Chain A
Amino acid sequence: MAGIYRRIMSWVDERFGTGSVEEFLRHKTVPIHRHTIWYYLGGMTLFLFIIQVLTGILLLLYYRPTASDAFESVQFIMTQVQFGWLIRSIHSWSANLMIFLVFAHMFSVYFLKAYRKPRELTWVTGMLLMFVVLAFGFSGYLLPWNTLSFFATKVGTDMAGFVPFIGKWILIFLRGGKEVTGATLTRFFGFHVAVLPGLATLLLAMHLLLVQRLGMSTPPSVERAIEQGKEQRRSMPFFPNFLLRDIIGWYAALGVLGALAAIFPWELGIKANPFGSAPAGIRPEWYFLFMFQTFKYLPAKVLFLDSELLGLAVFSLAGAVWVIVPFLDYKAGFGKVTRFFTGLGIFALGYIVLMSALALRT
């Protein structure tokens, strides 16, 4: 048996040069220290992304992206298709869990200063991936064409209209017209299953390539402890030791997803009626709540700026700063931990948690 396996691998190596990959994996190691646990978040996010792709493909077999059929097709998936309820519920739960893990992964990387030289581009591609994931969430939310998603999309796309000069154009581009209609649904479907997956694949490939090329970062505090002789530099082989631990996490995530889908199947809601009035207490998905709550607190006008424009400008600026943080906090590359950037991270995390909690409470 082992002989056949070796012969097959040798045949493949002759053609694809997989030996070098095998060699790379054999020598790849993962540092062991008190923060090692955070290394698993990226792998788990990747696992959930794969689940999204697989369940998404299965949903595509029955989903119909038109205003007249979308709701009914999802209802059909939930009630008539064998295990359709499971696939759709896992797709929805996994999406939410993935976004949560993306945030957790991002903040863990931020606080462990893993973005420092030479991993600036790993951070940048990761951030871009996060924006793509949020776009996945926003576009996917509309697809069941229920009342809540319809009005949330209306409010969400309204925001694009406040961008100076090109806002109106963006709004019409996103909606496929002045209002949210069936054209918006078809367009969002296109973004969700073609444009965003393409972008995500490209960014993911770059992100993973960089992670493999540069390896895992050891936090500056651990580096210092090693240099001072307080700790020993320890590591484990990526293959199979780290990968097996990763798989344990993936199995656990699969169990959680299955339990959520079976005990709390994702609800369908009421079919959207574009001529109906917006339901009371309408709000976006939980990951946009901190922005939604901020807009509530902004006064109608600050100096000459409308609150919506001001909010957009602040969040865009904050997002841009966050993306280029490895270049701003360049001192981290020399092992220096700047209090300002640690404080900035604590402020950002605290702000997101506080605003989301306030939005959920009201």
Chain B
Amino acid sequence: MTRNTLLMIGVLMWALVPAGKARAADSCLTCHSALEGDFAKPAKLIEGDVHYQAGLVCADCHGGDPKDNSMSAMSPAKGFRGAPRKAQIPEFCGRCHSNPTYMRHYNPGLRTDQLSEYLTSVHGKRLKQGDTKVAACVDCHSVHNIQAVTDPRAPVYPANVANTCAKCHANAEYMKGYKIPTNQFALYEKSVHAAALAGGDTSAPTCTTCHGNHGATPPGVSSVANVCGTCHAFNEQLFDNSPHKAAFAAMGLPGCVQCHSNHEILKPTDALVGVGPKAICITCHSKGDPGYAGAAKIAGDIAKLQTFYLHANQILGTAERSGMEVSAARVELSSAHSDLLKARVTVHTFDPAQVQKITGEGVQIAQKSYQEGVAALHERDVRRKGLGLSLTFIVLVILGLIFKIRQMEAKKPPASPGSAERS
């Protein structure tokens, strides 16, 4: 083989080596890959880990010397820390994750207060007290195959958070002794929030949205409204200015949760307001008190607007299906629909006068739209009658023409052999 041939083979071999980030030999992976059972697991899982993909190796967390192929690679002399015990895990991860300077090299946008938040959480406090059943970092984020929170496969991805929390909190056997319910997940799954999340809206609330993630704690009675108000700001503002705010505080009742529940927050319907069998108002208010009358008035006004809106919508739909142009009336009616939505929100003032002001405007608009629908249908009928008359006239003219042609051709037949032009 000539020198040139060897050189060519060398170039080809280099070209055929798979492209990718070259990694230095790692004795941790080499040995653990050859082992069996739990010892082999980290080596198998690590390739999908966000840390490994960022260039970190086993020794960055566990210490030791990855260049040493002997057992002395895992000696304390070489900085080997080994696997942390449960109580040590938060600080173990916090070594890097609480270090803003270090984290800036990898993910400058990531917060570095997870450890300090965790230590204020129920989980963190209990762990410090020696309860190793509580969640630490790896219980939620997994270990050795940790994925970024933006990765849909991650247990902490918004759509997976509830399931991750439920692993412990929905396990009655595991939670025995903590004296807290274990049905939160089952209830949450029925909620409007879970439905939104399942529908692909990753901004919809899940456990951590209300309870916090690293600083997970149950919101107290006094702060429930604040939690809901982070998203439902306008409703919170109306509630804060309503007479219910002080009354609820005096009675020690939580704000929003009192009517909407906490985990099983269903899509609110108009039936929740008023004095009907499904109404929440009657759980506190009874016949004869002003609140009962106010609830009935609010429910009545909303129902009235809803009815007027539906009637107008229906008649405009009929007009549209008949081919009538009612887009202007449609635009007007959309204002009535906005009023309906506004009135439903204004319920949180618990002030019948404020609700009536909005529903009154909506009813007027809906009535006007309804009248435009009636006019459109009347116009449609006029057109059809006009069509009937015109068609009758046209048919009569056609019959007259046929009669005329027959009469004319009876006198003088048109078929005259030989008279047509040749072509």
| Docked complex: B194-252 residues within 8 A CB-CB of A | none
Chain A nearest CB from B368 CB (Å) reads 15
Q: How many pairs of A and B residues are in contact by the CB < 8 Å rule?
A: 96
- The smallest beta-carbon distance between B147 and chain A, in angstroms, is 33
What CA separation (Å) do A259 and B397 show in the bound complex? 17
Interchain Cβ contacts under 8 Å between A and B, 14 examples = A31-B421, A32-B414, A32-B415, A75-B327, A79-B325, A215-B421, A218-B422, A233-B420, A235-B415, A240-B408, A244-B401, A251-B398, A258-B387, A267-B325
> With A32-B415, A252-B394 in contact, is A79–B328 under 8 Å at CB?
yes
In contact, A241 and B390 (Cβ under 8 angstroms): no
The answer to the question of B416 belonging to the interface, with a C-beta cut-off of 8 Å to chain A, is: yes
Task: Tell me whether chain B's interface is mostly helix, strand or loop, or mixed.
Answer: helix
A264 touches B423 (CB 8 A): no
Tell me which of B391, B398, B401 contacts A259 (CB under 8 A): B391
Task: Please give the distance in Å from A217's CB to the nearest CB on chain B.
Answer: 4
Q: Is B81 an interface residue, CB under 8 A from the partner?
A: no
- The CA-CA distance from A323 to B414 in the complex, in Å, is 35
The reply to whether B325 and A234 form a contact with Cβ atoms under 8 Å apart is no
B417 near A233 (CB under 8 angstroms)? yes
A232 an interface residue at 8 Å Cβ cutoff?
yes
CA–CA, A223 to B421, complex, Å? 11
B387 touches A218 (CB 8 A): no
Which A residues, 187 to 233, have Cβ-Cβ distances below 8 Å to chain B?
214-218, 223, 232-233
A102 within 8 A of B: no
Task: From A75, A218, A255, give the contact of B390 (CB < 8 A).
Answer: A255
In the complex, the answer to whether A29 meets B401 with C-beta atoms within 8 Å is no
Q: How big is the A interface, by class? A: 35 or more
Across the interface, which residues of A come within 8 angstroms of B324, CB to CB? 265
Instruction: Tell me the nearest residue of chain A to B415, going by C-beta.
Output: A234
Asked if A232 contacts B417 (CB within 8 A), the reply is yes
Tally of contact residues, B, Cβ under 8 A: 31
Chain B positions within 8 Å of A233 at CB level? 417-420
Residues of A within 8 A of B (CB): 29-32, 75, 78-79, 85-86, 119, 214-218, 223, 232-237, 240-241, 244-245, 247-248, 251-252, 254-255, 258-259, 262-265, 267-268
Q: Is B404 an interface residue (CB 8 A)?
A: yes
Chain A proximity mask over B393-420: 1 for CB below 8 Å, otherwise 0: 0110110011011001100001111111
* Other A-B pairs beyond A31-B420, A235-B414, 6, CB < 8 Å: A29-B421, A216-B423, A233-B420, A241-B408, A258-B390, A268-B327
B130 located at the interface, meaning its Cβ lies under 8 Å from any Cβ of chain A in the complex: no
Taking a contact as CB atoms under 8 Å apart, the answer to whether B395 and A248 are in contact is: no
Residues of A within 8 A of B419 (CB): 29, 233, 235
User: Are A244 and B390 closer than 8 Å at their CB atoms?
Assistant: no
Contacts of B415 in A (CB 8 A): 32, 232, 234-236
- Given contacts A32-B415, A75-B325, A268-B327, are A255 and B421 in contact (CB under 8 A)? no
- Known A-B contacts A255-B394, A258-B387; A248 and B414 likewise in contact (beta carbons under 8 Å): no
B181 CB–A CB distance under 8 Å:
no
Which residue of chain B lies nearest to A85 when distances are taken between CB atoms in the complex?
A: B325
Of all A-B residue pairs in the complex, the 3 with the closest CB atoms, nearest first, are: A235-B420, A236-B414, A262-B387
A233–B418 Cα distance when bound, in Å, is: 5
Residue B384 CB within 8 A of the other chain: yes
Instruction: Tell me the complex Cα distance, A264–B423, Å.
Output: 43
